[in-house]
C-alpha cells in the first residue's frame, strides 16, 4: 500500500474496536471520499485537539472555555456524594443511565502492576483533597470488578478512611472482569441503585 495510506491505516488500527482489516477499510474509504469523509474528520480532529481538555476539578472531558465542566458547576447536583471512576468515559456511561445526580472524580486509570500504573500516576491526592475540602458525605467507588479494580477501590477506601465519608461501591450487577464503559444503561442503573457499603 502507498505510504500515507499505510500510515493512516496504522493510526486507525490503534483505535479501540478497530482491527487491522477494519482500519484498512476505513483508511481506503477516507481517501476515496476526501470531501465527504476525510476533510470533515481532519477538521473535527483538529478542533478536538485544540479545544477538548480534562476538567480541572473532576477529570472529565470538557472544552477549554468551560472548565470546570458543566457537571461540576451544576448547582442542582448533590455535592455530598462523589462517584469515583477510572476514566472520563465512565462518567459518560453513568450519566447515560440517568441514575446518579451527584458529582464525579475520574482517577485517570486504575492500579495495575502489570501496566506500571501505581498510585502516583493516578488522581488519588486530588480525590482526598476534594472529599475533605468539599465536605463529601459519601464516596461511591464505581470502578471495574476485576482484580485491578478491586485493588483500586481498596486503596481509595484506605486513603479516605479518616475523612468521615461513607464508602460505597456499585452493586455487583456488572459482569466480572468488565468495565463501566461496556455496560448498558439498565445494568448501570441497577448497580447504582443497589450500591453497598465497602
Residues 134-170 pLDDT 10s:
999 999 999 998 899 999 999 999 999 999 999 999 8
Tell me whether residue 116 is exposed, middle or buried, using C-beta atoms within 10 angstroms of its C-beta: 0 to 12, 13 to 18, 19 or more: exposed
SS3 assignment, position 57:
coil
Residues 94-107 pLDDT 10s:
999 999 999 999 99
CA atoms within 13 A on the CB side of 197: 3
- Note the residue count of the chain: 198
Q: Which of 31, 34, 15, 12 is nearest to 23 (CA)?
A: 12
88 pLDDT band, cuts 50/70/90, is very high
Average pLDDT over residues 28-37: 97
Domains and CATH numbers, the chain: 3-53 (1.10.8), 68-197 (3.40.1360.10)
The three cell numbers of residue 36 are 465527504
Predicted model pTM: 0.80
Amino acid at each position: 500500500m502507498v505510504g500515507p495510506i499505510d500510515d493512516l491505516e496504522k493510526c486507525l488500527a490503534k483505535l479501540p474496536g478497530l482491527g487491522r482489516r477494519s482500519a484498512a477499510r476505513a483508511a481506503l474509504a477516507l481517501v476515496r471520499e476526501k470531501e465527504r469523509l476525510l476533510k470533515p474528520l481532519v477538521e473535527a480532529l483538529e478542533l478536538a485537539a485544540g479545544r477538548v481538555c480534562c476538567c480541572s476539578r473532576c477529570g472529565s472531558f470538557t472544552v477549554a472555555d468551560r472548565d470546570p465542566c458543566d457537571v461540576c458547576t451544576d448547582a442542582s447536583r448533590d455535592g455530598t456524594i462523589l462517584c469515583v471512576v477510572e476514566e472520563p468515559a465512565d462518567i459518560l456511561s453513568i450519566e447515560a443511565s440517568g441514575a446518579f445526580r451527584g458529582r464525579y472524580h475520574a482517577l485517570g486509570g486504575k492500579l495495575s502492576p502489570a501496566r506500571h500504573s501505581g498510585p502516583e500516576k493516578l488522581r488519588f491526592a486530588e480525590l482526598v483533597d476534594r472529599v475533605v475540602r468539599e465536605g463529601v458525605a459519601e464516596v461511591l467507588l464505581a470502578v471495574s470488578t476485576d482484580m485491578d479494580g478491586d485493588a483500586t477501590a481498596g486503596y481509595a477506601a484506605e486513603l479516605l478512611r479518616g475523612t468521615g465519608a461513607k464508602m460505597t461501591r456499585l452493586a455487583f450487577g456488572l459482569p466480572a472482569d468488565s468495565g463501566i464503559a461496556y455496560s448498558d444503561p439498565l445494568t448501570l442503573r441497577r448497580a447504582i441503585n443497589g450500591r453497598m457499603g465497602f
